[in-house]
Every structure is written in structure tokens, then in C-alpha cells.
Chains A and B, each alone.
Chain A
Amino acid sequence: MNLDQMQSMWQAHSEKLDECMSLNKTLLQKIQSDGNKSELNKLILTRAIEGIVFLCIVLSLGSYMASSWSLTAPVVSACVLNIFAILGLAGSIGQVALLSKIDFSKPMKETLNDLIAVRTHSLNVFKLLILSAPFYMAYVFLGYDLFFDVDLFSLMSAETTIRFSVIALIFGLLVALLINKLKPENRDNKLIGWLYQEISGRRLTHLLDQFENMEKG
């Protein structure tokens, strides 16, 4: 079969399709009335809910800091965690804005670029949020103060403080290494590849590569 024969067959197929296909209008109306069921709307909704959660955390931490303002470990911890919560909130708002801008009636390459922008933004937010890992003790200090009304830091011996500081430093190095490795060219690494697939969308990146290679060639 050559391309012309294929085209004739396709035209015949298209004409026949109109006769032998039926549309379930009840289901179609359900799709219209329940737009949230589309993948894109589900994503926007998820990001919006994440944003609301981050906003609640920011407000709660802000209220805690205002009510117990002093230079103590729990308040400093709340301050540090609030910075990351604000980053998370900004990230969620950015995601909602980028996702809402996606227009599937644009030319294919432009739509792909918009989708890649969403994924890149999501990857950058992820990188910023994992920077909170070295500050893991902030959660512990704040938790002890909230649940037991105890300033754990003031009770810790110098030796324990050093031990936790060393662990935080190791976490910091690991996070810095991970962020440094989180690049498209390192996708052959199992962990990086998996993270990329989850956050950045391997298929979309691959498609955009196809477009770019096509232009170079």
C-alpha cells in the first residue's frame, strides 16, 4: 500500500464512520456538566487544594509566632518552616496559574512548551521544598512545644546538639547533591530517572526533544 492508496482508504473509512458510529449524548452531557472530571481540571483542583493547605499552615504558624514571639528554638523553628510553607503556597499558586493558561487549541509545539513550563515549575518548587530536609529538627522542636509545652532545645546537652547538627549537615549535603543531579542529562540514574518521571514528565520532555531535533536536522 502506498500513501495515496492509504489516503483513499482513509477517506472511505471517514465516510463510513459517520454512518456506523453513534454518540452517547447522555454521557456527553455528563462530561459538560461535570467538567472537573477532566484530567486538567483535576490537576488544577489538586494544586488549588495544596495551596489552601499551605495557606492554612502559613496562617497557623504566623499566629503561633505572633502569640509566643521570643528568640526561642520553637519560634525560630516556626519561622523557618513558615518560609518553606510560603514557598509551597507560592508554588501552588504558580502551578494553578500555569495550568489554567494551557490551551489545547494552540499549535502542538506551543502546547507542549506550556506543559513543559508547568513541569519545570513543579520541579523547581520540589527542589525548593526539599531544602527543608536539613531543618528536620525544626519540626521536632515545634512539635514538642505545641504538644508538650517543652522547649526541647534548651534541655538538650551540647553533645546531642552537635550530633543533630552533624545529621542536619549530612542531610544538607545529600539534598545539595540531589538538587545538583536533578538534571535531564542524569535521567539514566535510577533514582533521578524515577524522580524525573514523577515530577518532570519524561514523555513530554522526550516529545519536546523530538521537536528540537527535527529543527536542528
Chain B
Amino acid sequence: MSVDRHRMYLDIIERHKGIVFKVARAYCSNEFDREDLVQEILAQIWRSLDTYNDNFKITTWMYRVALNVAISFYRKDKTIAYKHTEMEDKLLSYDMEAERENEQSLSELYAFINGLNDIDKAVLLMYLEGESQSEIATNLAITIANVSTKISRIKQKLKAKAS
């Protein structure tokens, strides 16, 4: 294993660990499943590191890997709490206290995202992250018109929920 590659990996994960956390929380409501998904995403980022090039923003590339892992490998309704006896061994620890004042609204936000289908989730996450519609379209390999339609439908769902 090259030292440079190893250092680059640690640096990328340290700087953008939030992406992994957000994707895992958006795709798994269960804490045990989330930890499995975090591990799988981090393993695939390590495996795919050689494919990264400067044509992409590192955050866009990480979103691609994380979302692809989330929609393909993770199996929903996996109730395997017995597999994890020690949840202290978590890759990403999150201090809930720090966001206590926003926790209620954040939980609602994640609940809304959790309720969407897998592709809408991916579109919304990238949209919230500030990616342009053309970037979202490239990341999903769909047309900009489709992204635009998806975003309009998400807006309608949000409106319906609010009313």
C-alpha cells in the first residue's frame, strides 16, 4: 500500500466524513444498519480511490461512491442487531448534544428524506448539497429534464406534507 495513497485516503475521509454520515443517515433509519453502510462506503472509497481524477470535485466523487453503495449493497429491513454487541466501535461518532436545538427539525428533515424512493433521495441529497441540476444529471446518468421533474415533484411532496 503506497504511503501517499494511504495519506490521501485518510485526508479525504477526515475532511468529508460528513458526506458518508449524511448518506448513511438518509438511507438507513436503523443505527446498526447505518454502521454497516458506513463501513461499506468507506471500504469502497478506498477501493475506488484510483479512479478519482481532477475532472470532478472530490465531494461530487464521494457522493457518487456513497450513493452507489447505498442503493446497491445495503439491504433494508436487516434486523441484525445481534451482529453488533459493541456499538462503541463506531467508525463515525456523532455528538447529538451539539445539535440539540436543531434536532427536532433535523429529524423531520431526515424523516422526509427517508420516505422518498432511492433515486429521489439521491437527487435531493445532491440538490441540498448545492450541486447544479447538470451535475446531478451527470452523477445519475439521466437527463437534466428528468432531474428538474424530480425536483418539482419533491417540492410538491414537501408542500403537501406542510399543508
Q: A residues bordering B, Cβ < 8 Å?
A: 1-3, 6-7, 9-14, 16-25, 27-28, 31-33, 35, 37-41, 103-112, 115, 203-204, 207, 210-211, 214-215, 217
Report the bound CA distance from A158 to B71 in whole Å: 57
Contact B46 A214 (CB under 8 A): no
Looking across the interface, which residue of chain A has its beta carbon closest to that of B43?
A38
Interface size on B, residues (CB 8 A): 69
Contact B139 A107 (CB under 8 A): yes
Looking across the interface, which residue of chain B has its beta carbon closest to that of A17?
B18
Cβ proximity bits B67-110 to A, threshold 8 Å, 1 near / 0 not = 11101110110000000000001111111011100100110110
Find chain A residues with CB under 8 A from B10 CB: 25, 28
Contact A108 B43 (CB under 8 A): no
Contact B122 A108 (CB under 8 A): yes
Given contacts A13-B99, A18-B17, A35-B46, 18 further A-B contacts (CB under 8 A): A3-B158, A9-B102, A9-B105, A11-B128, A13-B102, A16-B102, A23-B92, A24-B93, A32-B1, A32-B46, A38-B43, A104-B64, A104-B68, A105-B52, A108-B64, A108-B71, A110-B141, A112-B72
Contact A23 B14 (CB under 8 A): yes
Contact A106 B71 (CB under 8 A): no
How far does the Cβ of A107 sit from chain B's closest Cβ, in whole Å? 4
Cβ contact of A16, chosen from B69, B92, B98, cutoff 8 A: B98
Report the bound CA distance from A125 to B52 in whole Å: 34
Contact A20 B99 (CB under 8 A): yes
The answer to whether A24 and B21 touch (CB under 8 A), given A3-B154, A111-B72, is no
Report the bound CA distance from A215 to B141 in whole Å: 11
Cβ proximity bits B46-77 to A, threshold 8 Å, 1 near / 0 not = 11100110000000010011011101110110
Contact B47 A35 (CB under 8 A): yes
Cβ proximity bits B11-39 to A, threshold 8 Å, 1 near / 0 not = 00110011001100000000000000001
